[in-house]
Chain A
């Protein structure tokens, strides 16, 4: 068996089917999207080549930059929230009672489909009958905000369920990484007189730093291309107040029948994501990897 697997031809043979699939459904469409971005195309009739015109108008499109700003704001918030997840994971990994149960509870939102979460939160945010506003009214708030129709609030009102949706995922990753730290290291530190705070900050965090880097990339890229809850809950509205890059692309391409422009946005989004990933890797790169021994 080992011999077979070291045969280059066989390796190529086995890799080929999935490679073809990935090419067909991911890389070729990316190239095509870049190509469509150079076209004037309504998605139905024939296209005509207009060069960089779509990108030129994209640069001048205030609504687009507004959505870029929203996406980046969200990326920053999700990155900051990683710190909270880390604290939760540290507590969970500290052998407290019921850690297993809590871990499962945190993970449940991750298992729900986005549309179900959206419907749930739509009910929570309902301006008159919603749980949140009913609660606020019972506390004596006279005029509770209309969460999803107030342009100043809607974006933050949407971020909360999205963060809630993915919290369990990151907590689980951190939990697993923390559990992976050999107990002997912690014990040694304890014998040397380190308090729990020092153990967490000086021993555990450096040891899981690689995982943290990966989750930062995941959180940033995931936020930049986020779409589902926003599409279902507000559809980018009112008047673009909760529009993010992906929902704006969808609106332009499928609602406004401007596939050329939509493709340009999509391609731009891809470039932004790649640059962001590269920048994060660069910024968090460390020369020496910390090891257990």
Chain B
């Protein structure tokens, strides 16, 4: 009896080992075959290739981009029947987090999207992204708006290709403005008066969700630019000194805005989406956000036309005595497409990226209302007025100041988020704000 049990359990264990061994060998042979498939496919044969792609436009919140991605993938798969593109979609914040988690375990998707400069750098240093300069020399040559691909370059090599270019206007609700006889402001004094008038009439002046602290950073950046001029922030990050008086003055102005009840109640605990819904439900009169929101005010079929008609935008007003120009914009390239350095199907992935970026440039403004990193011929496309206005503003822009958090290294950017929340929550003084930001920049993380 005993022997029987013993042998039975031995058999079971042996079986487990055999099975797991099978699993292991199956995996490795799979990998082998896809790798081989990749090579042979680039050589022109028809072996099956699967490219894994991750993007950040869920159907619910970014339906236009989501559809466009699907369409381009569809076109590519039709033209290349041997290629299958698998997508995984995550919302912005979750996407950022997952990308980090995946890279830590060395399992990035073959193709995905990354932000520029500070965000990209650790990935490049960690050998996670493949250089894409060969694509820039191919049929994508001279297709990009000048200065856009540079934001993804590290040590002279370009590691991602931009698909978005955004600036941050202040959107406003024309109906609310008309009701209280307000005009879009040209000077900061006018702007403060608008805030006061709206508050007197119990209308929330500005929707802000600085639980996502980068949205609060926009306001600080504009104040810093209008006070200290277009280069003061770039220089601060480049030289790791945050002591320019205009940077401290901007922090003070930001706190004054908070004290004048300019922002929606509880803004530090609201997410950007929650703040956005205040604006979309016409409970707040103004909202500063990237031009990725423009489709919601023009083309997005899910939003009622009468709301869209009410929305306009203005440039952040100039401050008397400040060095900033009204045509300085906070903004920059948004996400760009990368190819994973460790991808088993790198060449196929690159080909796909080449196709995707080109096709995206042709379609994105018209179909999805996204300003691509590639040049748009405004004369040949039919666009809603707000888009033409934005594209014209972009043409007239004297400078686009790259988002502070994108400019900084991740550690410093994280501290920037905390400091912006503390600043707007009146938890620290402007001087402390500048001092701590400088310390974070100096830490070099």
Contact = CB atoms under 8 A, between A and B. Distances in A.
Query: Are chains A and B native binding partners rather than an unrelated pairing?
Result: yes
Interface of A: 1, 3-4, 7, 9-10, 13-14, 17, 42-46, 125-128, 146-151, 154, 234-235, 237-241, 251-252, 254-259
B232 interface: no
B101 A254 contact: yes
13 contacts: A4-B2, A43-B103, A44-B125, A45-B125, A126-B270, A149-B211, A234-B211, A237-B418, A238-B269, A254-B101, A256-B410, A256-B415, A256-B445
Contacts of A151: 425, 427
A237 B268 contact: yes
Interface residues of B, number: 45
Contacts of A4: 2, 5-6
Contacts of B268: 146, 148-149, 237-238
A238 B9 contact: no
A237 B213 contact: yes
Contact of A44 (B1, B123, B414): B123
A254 B211 contact: no
Contacts of B126: 42-46
A240 B414 CA distance: 11
Given A10-B9, A42-B126, 16 more contacts: A13-B10, A43-B126, A128-B265, A128-B266, A146-B265, A146-B266, A149-B267, A149-B425, A150-B266, A251-B414, A252-B414, A254-B100, A256-B410, A256-B411, A258-B411, A258-B445
Interface string B205-221: 00000110100000000
Query: Chain B: interface secondary structure?
Result: helix
Contacts of B97: 254-255
Given A3-B1, A239-B418, A254-B101, A43 B122 contact: yes
Contacts of B100: 43, 254-255, 257
Contact of A17 (B16, B103, B122, B267): B16
B149 interface: no
Query: Chain A: interface secondary structure?
Result: loop
Nearest to B97: A254
Nearest to B12: A13
Contacts of A235: 211
A149 B104 contact: no
B378 interface: no
B262 to A, nearest CB: 15
A239 B5 contact: no
A10 B103 CA distance: 41
Nearest to B119: A257
A43 B409 CA distance: 14
Contacts of B1: 3
Given A42-B126, A45-B126, A254-B97, A239 B269 contact: no
B407 interface: no
Given A45-B125, A257-B122, A149 B270 contact: yes
A13 B266 contact: no
Nearest to A233: B269
B266 A127 contact: yes
Contacts of B409: 257
User: Which 3 pairs across A and B sit closest by C-beta, in order of nearness?
Assistant: A44-B126, A127-B266, A146-B266
B264 A239 contact: no
